[in-house]
Structure 1
Amino acid sequence: MEFFLDTADLDEIRLAGKQGLIDGVTTNPTLLSRQGGDWKKRMQQICDEVDGPVSLEVISPDAEGMLREAEELVRYGDNVVIKVPMTAEGLIATRTLTGKGIKTNVTLVFSAMQALLAAKAGATYVSPFLGRLDGIGHEGMEIVSQIRTIFDNYGYETKILAASIRHAQHVLDSALVGADVVTVPYSVLRQLMHHPLTDSGLDAFLADWNKLTQS
């Protein structure tokens, strides 16, 4: 399973890169706005920093506007993936971009049927939002499982990118049901690194080492 970092924070991207933990990055206007400064410069820095795919999001409501924005966004690098909303206009944009050889990430997916439509339109990735579904009383992971079954049934090559990840259990469950990618904030990556028994075991080893060196 691939790990994408859901951030626009260059320090987080560089740290996770040193740790060998990320295969790509996803961004959105909210994440970029939190960083402040020149957002165009920051997008360029992210694309330059990351070897893998970087999802940059269009904001126009109509396909024509999405395609104009996509033309600008792909100039940031060969690794740019155009993030398109799961709407009727978004599907038109996805189909057109795919026909031009431009990778797409259909976002704000909340049902298996939406994911199927995105795959039929040629999406490179579909992004079901697990945390938001859980937040309204639905079982987000069930959607990922359904998408996996449908894609396998019919041989779709579209990758399932589990998004809106809230905690480590989301990552584990995504891996178990067969998501191709998870995109996570760095705070969740930290959760995955730690276990109380690791910490207590390390403390015990250090304590024993101190006894050896002091004897």
Structure 2
Amino acid sequence: MKFFIDTANLDEIREAEAWGILAGVTTNPSLYAKTGGKLADFENHMAKICEICKDIPVSAESTAETTEEMVAEGRRLAAIAPNIVVKLPICEASLPACHTLATEGIRVNMTLIFSAPQALLAASAGARYISPFVGRFEDCGEDGIEQLETVVTCVKNYEYGYWEQEGGPEIITASVRTPHHVTQAALMGADIATVPFAALKKCVHHPLTDKGLASFAADWEKVVNA
């Protein structure tokens, strides 16, 4: 399974990239707002991310509301760098926009997916990536992992002509909050997990690992001081 980082923070992206595990970056308006970024600097900020991550996909989300505006903004975003992926929220306006952009060779990440029918529609419209949410689904008292499994099974049942050479469409497990979410997504064959940096760091740690490291360090200290 590939690891994407879900952030617009340049320092977090640099650190994750240095780990050698980063396969992509996803952003959204909320994540960009957390950086303190301004509207006028948005596209420049996306360009900075793409400069850090030259050879991996970087999702930049459109805030347009109509099909025509989504297509226009998608083209503008895609022109920032070759690795930009246009992120669109699933809705009636975004499906034809996705189709238009896909036929032009522009990759789309369809986001805010909460059901299998939404995912199937996105795949049929030409989405390169499909992002079902786990954590937000669980906020409603539902089983986000079960819903993710349904989406993965349904989408993987079929072939889609748009991105066959790239192996798409790929399922991005989104709204990941815990290492458990990552484990379950991997078990069911989700292609990607996009993980906030705090949750990504949790994936590195385990209480027994931390205990073992502390024990090794204490024993080695005895050797040094012998």
Q: TM-score, normalised by structure 1?
A: 0.96
Q: Write the distance in 2 (CA, Å) between the matches of 1:108 and 1:214.
A: 57
Could you say which residue in structure 1 is the equivalent of 2:130? Answer: 126
Q: Write the distance in 2 (CA, Å) between the matches of 1:194 and 1:144.
A: 25
SS at match of 1:88: coil
Q: Write the distance in 1 (CA, Å) between the matches of 2:217 and 2:177.
A: 33
Q: Write the distance in 2 (CA, Å) between the matches of 1:142 and 1:158.
A: 20
Could you say which residue in structure 2 is the equivalent of 1:10? Answer: 10
1:188 equivalent to 2:199? Answer yes
TM-superposed CA distance for 1:36, in Å, is 1.8
Could you say which residue in structure 1 is the equivalent of 2:47? Answer: 44
SS at match of 1:84: strand
1:115 equivalent to 2:119? Answer yes
- Of the three residues 206, 211, 215, the one matched with 2:222 is 211
- Of the three residues 94, 99, 114, the one matched with 1:95 is 99
- Of the three residues 56, 61, 84, the one matched with 2:60 is 56
1:31-57 Cα shifts (integer Å, max 9, x gaps): 111112433321110111112000011
Could you say which residue in structure 2 is the equivalent of 1:171? Answer: 182
Q: Write the distance in 1 (CA, Å) between the matches of 2:142 and 2:23.
A: 29
Q: Write the distance in 1 (CA, Å) between the matches of 2:142 and 2:14.
A: 35
Could you say which residue in structure 1 is the equivalent of 2:21? Answer: 21
Could you say which residue in structure 1 is the equivalent of 2:165? Answer: none
Structure 1 alignment gaps of length 5 or more = none
Aligned-pair identity in percent equals 47
Q: Write the distance in 1 (CA, Å) between the matches of 2:129 and 2:21.
A: 20
TM-superposed CA distance for 1:207, in Å, is 1.5
- Of the three residues 196, 200, 207, the one matched with 2:211 is 200
Could you say which residue in structure 2 is the equivalent of 1:146? Answer: 150
TM-superposed CA distance for 1:84, in Å, is 0.9
SS at match of 2:79: helix
Contact kept, 8 Å, 2:2 with 2:193, in 1: the verdict is: yes
TM-superposed CA distance for 1:173, in Å, is 0.7
TM-superposed CA distance for 1:190, in Å, is 0.7
Could you say which residue in structure 1 is the equivalent of 2:79? Answer: 75
Contact kept, 8 Å, 2:119 with 2:155, in 1: the verdict is: no
Q: Write the distance in 2 (CA, Å) between the matches of 1:166 and 1:210.
A: 36
Give the letter for the 1:200 counterpart: K
TM-superposed CA distance for 1:205, in Å, is 1.2
Contact kept, 8 Å, 1:103 with 1:124, in 2: the verdict is: yes
Q: Write the distance in 1 (CA, Å) between the matches of 2:114 and 2:56.
A: 26
Give the letter for the 1:34 counterpart: K
- Runs of 4+ with >3 A deviation: none
1:134-168 Cα shifts (integer Å, max 9, x gaps): 00011111222112222232234311111011111
SS at match of 1:137: coil
The total of aligned residue pairs comes to 215
TM-superposed CA distance for 1:200, in Å, is 1.2
Q: TM-score, normalised by structure 2?
A: 0.92
